[in-house]
Amino acid sequence: MLDLSKYDSLGAALTGAMERWPDELCLIEADREHERCRLTYREFGGAALRLAAGFQKNGFAPGDRAAILMSNQSKWLISAYAVFYCGGVLVPLDYKLTSAEHLALVRHSKSSVLIVEYPIWRALSQSDFSETRVETILVTETPAGADLAGAKRWEEFRGEKAPEFRPRKQEDAACIVYSSGTGGRPKGCVLTHENYLEQCATVSPLWPFWPGARYLSIIPTNHAIDFMGGFIMPFTGGGTVVHLRTLRPEYIREAFTRYKITYMAVVPLILKNLERGLRDRFAALPPMKRRVLNALVRVNRMATRRRPRLWLSRLLLKQVHQAFGGELRALLVGGAFTEPKTLEFFHDLGIQIANGYGCTEACTAITVNDMKPFRPDTLGKPVAGMQLRIVNAGADGVGEVAVRSKTVMSHYLDDPELTAETVVDGWLLTGDLGKIDASGHLQLLGRKKNMIVTAEGKNIYPEDIENVFESLPVKEFCVFAANYLWPQRTMKDEKLVLVVRPDPNQNANGTMRGELELRNQRLAPYKRISGYVLWSEDFPRTASLKVKRNVLAEQIGRQLDRSAVQPL
């Protein structure tokens, strides 16, 4: 891989990759059974510089912000490199949000450029951009004859002059990444070039890339794991990123064998789906073959308990590994809680699941399991350069996880108050509760913050969804993470509940329930509340009438238990 200490910015490092491996393959984009494109580093660089020339012709200057809103594809990475080449700041947005959410984040980020794929633009173009700072909108893959509604075609956005590389300092902002807050208070993490280069340098030795190594990119690239694992790491190692335009389980399975995938990042939901598929296939085997498989799995389990032995696992369980293409080194999982038995299942098959813990505020990874030995019950040890401590630990050693490293973000965009609460004397207070065991491994045992993380790795803060319940026919309401009300020492099955103070004259379990269900349906499935709790007292409020959530939560926790939740 590149010696990242030589570079001050992502733009410089990526340019270094173009120069080092011009004829190596960097991108493959497939859609169902056919390939849409293959690009070498030279071709990728050429496409990006044409776009960069267009940016500079239109006055895009160092420090200017460009939001990207598209599913995983070559144009995402080409656009990102073009932005970095011009010294810009990338604002990667989650393409799965609603148009209203997209607009809110584009406005909050003060992006002057929006790069968006046509299907998303078709919906978003109905929005009012007057309160944003967007001056240029580039739309990809617009059908011939389609109305661009004032935007420009990405494919035609060029400049006559070759673009000039704009250097950045390590402490300059590289990206603004939203960790949440699409409905409430947006949390735009300002991550610097140093954050990314440091993160890449520390985790690349664990999962190295080289020309020929291939990463299958299926988690949205705005997500920290895919941005690092599916862009920066492969590119700074001369590897190849494979994009699938249609993300169906069968195409993902085929991609493993067709492209001989080396790594893939997954969220726990996808891992469970893979596990289910494999278990079904094993269950369908004839009894004798099943017994042989079980015996081989037992041998592999014993042989790899202390450390992985990939060559042996591939030998013992050849057909299983061939189903994954025969070249798979690891599945990287993060973003949410993964069940230990799922980790064990794959480990027993010799398929390494590199699980760990991280957060956007710390760029990507804080701790990682190195499998030496295999510990399904922990999130591993801090990565190189990461200081980790437990703040306000109780008698059981559990307290808030705090970290300090060159990967910790600069600040939250335009929110000095929240920044000051979150990064204290250089220590990032994660809001997660955990302890360090005798081996130096981290175990997470709850959250201090009132929020949940879904199985798809999405952070949901109650404030993000409360507006959908506005003007509910009740006296007052508030959304909480169930674990915030009733703390339990687990990160499993996190749910949101609505606490409702009904109107005294109302039939709480009649009309209100129906209305509640209707409102809940308006939310994307992963944001929905699981139930509601009826509360008979006034909500404690501040002088400015904001609900004192922590006080209310304490009262509810004292007087009620989980059985009070009425499921929806």
Residue 201 one-letter amino acid: A
Q: Residue 521, interface with another protein (CB under 8 A)?
A: yes
- Nearest to another protein of 118, 263 (CB atom): 118
Q: Residue 525, interface with another protein (CB under 8 A)?
A: yes
Q: Helix, strand, or coil here: 302?
A: helix
- Nearest to another protein of 98, 555 (CB atom): 98
Separation CA 323–CA 444 (nearest Å): 33
Separation CA 434–CA 445 (nearest Å): 5
**CA dihedral sign, ordered 542, 481, 221, 388:** positive
CB of 119 to another protein, least distance (A): 4
Separation CA 565–CA 568 (nearest Å): 9
Structure tokens, 264:
């893939």
Structure tokens, 288:
């004798």
Q: Which residues in the 55-74 window bind another protein by CB under 8 A? A: 71
Q: Which residues of 394-425 are buried (b: 16+ CB within 10 A; e: fewer)?
A: eeeebbbbbbbbbbbbbbbbebeeebeebbee
Among 249, 397, 426, 440, binds another protein (CB under 8 A): 249
Separation CA 488–CA 484 (nearest Å): 9
Q: Residue 120, interface with another protein (CB under 8 A)?
A: yes
CB of 454 to another protein, least distance (A): 10
Q: Rounded to 5 degrees, what angle do the CA atoms 473, 477, 480 make?
A: 145
With CB under 8 A as the contact rule, which of the stretches 113-121, 307-315, 425-433, 559-567 interacts with another protein?
Answer: 113-121
Q: Which residues in the 262-281 window bind another protein by CB under 8 A? A: 269-270, 273
Among 171, 250, 493, 561, binds another protein (CB under 8 A): 250
Q: Which residues in the 187-226 window bind another protein by CB under 8 A? A: none
CA distances from 1 to 5, 200, 217, 221 (A): 12, 10, 20, 21
Helices 41-57 and 10-20, axial angle in degrees (round to 10): 140
CB of 342 to another protein, least distance (A): 14
With CB under 8 A as the contact rule, which of the stretches 82-90, 117-125, 256-264, 494-502 interacts with another protein?
Answer: 117-125
- Nearest to another protein of 323, 524 (CB atom): 524
With CB under 8 A as the contact rule, which of the stretches 12-20, 244-252, 308-316, 505-513 interacts with another protein?
Answer: 244-252
Q: Which residues in the 19-38 window bind another protein by CB under 8 A? A: 32
Instruction: List, in order, residues 6 or more apart from 439 with CB less than 8 Å away.
Output: 375, 378, 381
With CB under 8 A as the contact rule, which of the stretches 12-20, 22-30, 240-248, 370-378 interacts with another protein?
Answer: 240-248
- Nearest to another protein of 524, 547 (CB atom): 524
CB of 403 to another protein, least distance (A): 31
First to last CA, the chain: 51
Q: Residue 98, interface with another protein (CB under 8 A)?
A: yes
CB of 521 to another protein, least distance (A): 6
Among 119, 159, 208, 211, binds another protein (CB under 8 A): 119
- Nearest to another protein of 120, 468 (CB atom): 120
Which contiguous run of DSSP H or E holds residue 312?
A: helix 310-316
CA nearest neighbour of 267 among 380, 208, 353: 353
CB of 273 to another protein, least distance (A): 5
Q: How many residues bind another protein (CB under 8 A)?
A: 23
Q: Which residues, listed in sequence order, are joined to residue 435 by a DSSP beta bridge?
A: 443
Contact of 348 with 320, CB cutoff 8 Å: no
CB of 534 to another protein, least distance (A): 22
With CB under 8 A as the contact rule, which of the stretches 219-227, 245-253, 286-294, 318-326 interacts with another protein?
Answer: 245-253
**CA dihedral sign, ordered 18, 21, 27, 28:** positive
Structure tokens, 316:
């013992």
State the burial class of residue 301 (Cβ atoms within 10 Å of its Cβ: 0-12, 13-18, 19+).
Answer: middle
- Nearest to another protein of 269, 560 (CB atom): 269
CB of 270 to another protein, least distance (A): 7
Q: Residue 232, interface with another protein (CB under 8 A)?
A: no
With CB under 8 A as the contact rule, which of the stretches 50-58, 208-216, 248-256, 552-560 interacts with another protein?
Answer: 248-256
CB of 369 to another protein, least distance (A): 24
Q: Residue 456, interface with another protein (CB under 8 A)?
A: yes
Among 6, 36, 248, 291, binds another protein (CB under 8 A): 248
Residue 450 is given by DSSP the state: S
Ramachandran region, residue 446 (left: φ > 0; alpha: ψ -120 to 50; beta: rest): left
Q: Which residues of 144-153 are buried (b: 16+ CB within 10 A; e: fewer)?
A: eeeeeeebee
Among 107, 153, 245, 441, binds another protein (CB under 8 A): 245
CA nearest neighbour of 446 among 478, 480, 484, 479: 484
**CA dihedral sign, ordered 99, 101, 103, 106:** negative
CB of 422 to another protein, least distance (A): 30
CA nearest neighbour of 73 among 42, 47, 50, 99: 47
CB of 432 to another protein, least distance (A): 24
Q: Residue 524, interface with another protein (CB under 8 A)?
A: yes
CA nearest neighbour of 14 among 177, 168, 216, 220: 168
Q: Residue 246, interface with another protein (CB under 8 A)?
A: yes
- Nearest to another protein of 249, 440 (CB atom): 249
Residues found near another protein in the complex (CB under 8 A): 32, 71, 95-96, 98, 117, 119-120, 245-250, 269-270, 273, 455-456, 521, 524-526
